């Protein structure tokens, strides 16, 4: 295996920020070239020197895993900032501010500003939960299409649905350049919001006649507080398989809570279908990564 092939394999398995990946690969190339040069000066042939330098350095996949574990653990400040949008939504429902258009507007503006800022400043790990809420109005607007009169639903859907999918896929494709797990982290609130809508019997006009939501609002707050804990765990742990578990287990438990609270509208089969569909949705980015490859 040549040096370019070795670094290429490292690049595939290096699930870190794009800027960090480039810097790491540049440093590793310089280190391997220096080691090869030292071996050549000691009398080893050029081909053998390059091969021996890579063997001494270690398997590409193992080195990539060690680097990922070192770079993918955020500090407590980053973890808090990543969990902040979930905490804001939990606060919104625990204090019943969801009934105030002013507070909802403030949070939407804040989410938009933070999401755009983070996207333009290196896309740090704390950004992706904010992006999930940035996309949420797009998903909610799509669900409102069913309330349009007559054939307007189909006419608007023909334009809206492809546009919404284009926005989602474009974002996902750029985030996949770093790691599919961050796409899943971004999408995490969407199945929970869908679950609560189903728990309300599919009635999305709850802001106007919110008696049902008034009753379940504390449980909604608990579910988003659990999402905040999930995000903190995801940011703070190092090992990749623990990050996967940090997304998987809490989501299943939160959907179970949603189904228990809204049992009359969801039931056992509804929970099973919702959970399965949510898992497929949440972990579909790994399939996209295999299709497109990391860039």
Residue 107 phi, psi (nearest 5): -65, -40
Q: What is the mean pLDDT of the chain?
A: 81
Do 39 and 32 form a contact (C-beta atoms < 8 A)?
no
| Among candidate residues 183, 166, 132, the one with its CA nearest the CA of residue 286 | 183
| pTM metric for this prediction | 0.78
**How large is the average pLDDT for residues 179-205?**
82
Q: Per-residue pLDDT averaged across 23-38, rounded? A: 85
Spatial separation of the C-alpha atoms in residues 284 and 290, rounded to whole Å = 10
In this predicted structure, what is the pLDDT of residue 245? 92
Q: What is the mean pLDDT of residues 10-35?
A: 81
Predicted confidence (pLDDT) at residue 4 exceeds the cutoff of 70: yes
- Higher pLDDT pick, 140 / 191: 191
pLDDT of residue 84: 95
Asked if 265 and 201 count as a contact pair (C-beta separation under 8 A), the reply is: yes
Dihedral sign from CA coordinates of 120, 121, 123, 127: negative
Q: Burial code of 67-93, b = ≥16 C-beta within 10 A, e = fewer?
A: bbeebbbbeeebbbbbbbbbbbbbebb
In terms of pLDDT, which residue wins out, 209 or 5? 5
Q: How confident is the model at residue 42 (pLDDT cuts 50, 70, 90)?
A: confident
User: 52 burial class (0-12, 13-18, 19+ CB within 10 angstroms)?
Assistant: middle
Q: Which of 285, 255, 39, 256 is nearest to 183 (CA)?
A: 285
Which of 245 and 58 is assigned the larger pLDDT?
245
* 129, 85 Cβ separation under 8 angstroms: yes
Rounded-to-integer distance, Cα 180 and Cα 269, Å: 29
pLDDT tens digits, residue range 209-227? 467 778 888 999 999 999 9
The fraction of the chain above a pLDDT of 90, given in percent, is 20
**pLDDT at residue 9, rounded to an integer:** 82
Of these ranges, 42-51, 130-139, 254-263, the one predicted with the greatest mean pLDDT is 254-263
The tokens for 225 are: 């507080």
pLDDT at 190 over 60: yes
Q: Is residue 151 very low, low, confident or very high in pLDDT (cuts 50, 70, 90)?
A: low
pLDDT tens for each residue of 75-127: 899 999 999 999 999 999 998 887 787 888 888 888 889 988 888 887 888 99
Q: Assign 29 a pLDDT band (cuts: 50, 70, 90).
A: confident
Q: CA–CA separation, 264 vs 266, rounded Å?
A: 6
Residue 205: the pLDDT is: 53
Cβ contact 176:294 at 8 Å: yes
49 has pLDDT over 90: no
> Could you tell me which residues come within 8 angstroms of residue 1 by beta carbon, excluding any fewer than 6 positions away?
9, 51, 54
For position 27, what pLDDT does the model report? 87
Give yes or no for residue 74 having a pLDDT over 90.
no
Confidence of residue 294 (pLDDT cuts 50, 70, 90): very low
- Does 228 have pLDDT greater than 90? yes
């Amino acid at each position: 295996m040549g040096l370019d092939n070795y670094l290429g394999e490292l690049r595939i398995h290096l699930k870190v920020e794009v800027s960090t990946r480039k810097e790491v690969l540049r440093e590793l190339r310089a280190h391997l070239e220096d080691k090869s040069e030292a071996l050549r000066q000691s009398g080893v042939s050029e081909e053998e020197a390059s091969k021996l330098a890579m063997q001494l350095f270690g398997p590409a996949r193992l080195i990539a895993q060690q680097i990922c574990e070192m770079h993918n653990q955020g500090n407590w400040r980053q973890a808090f900032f990543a969990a902040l949008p979930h905490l804001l939504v939990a606060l919104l429902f625990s204090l019943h501010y969801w009934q105030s258009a002013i507070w909802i507007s403030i949070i939407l503006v804040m989410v938009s500003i933070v999401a755009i800022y983070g996207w333009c400043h290196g896309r740090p790990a704390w950004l992706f939960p904010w992006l999930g809420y940035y996309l949420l109005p797009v998903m909610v607007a799509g669900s409102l299409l069913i309330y349009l009169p007559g054939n307007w639903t189909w006419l608007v859907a023909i334009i809206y649905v492809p546009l919404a999918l284009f926005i989602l896929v474009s974002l996902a494709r750029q985030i996949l350049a770093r790691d599919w797990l961050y796409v899943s982290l971004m999408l995490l609130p969407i199945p929970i919001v869908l679950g609560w809508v189903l728990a309300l019997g599919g009635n999305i006009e709850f802001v106007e006649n919110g008696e049902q939501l008034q009753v379940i609002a504390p449980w909604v707050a608990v579910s988003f507080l659990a999402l905040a804990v999930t995000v903190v765990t995801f940011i703070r742990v190092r090992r990749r398989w623990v990050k996967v578990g940090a997304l998987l287990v809490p989501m299943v438990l939160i959907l179970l809570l949603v189904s228990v609270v809204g049992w009359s509208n969801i039931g056992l089969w509804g929970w099973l279908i919702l959970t399965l569909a949510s898992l497929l949705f949440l972990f579909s980015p790994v399939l996209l990564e295999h299709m497109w490859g990391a860039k």
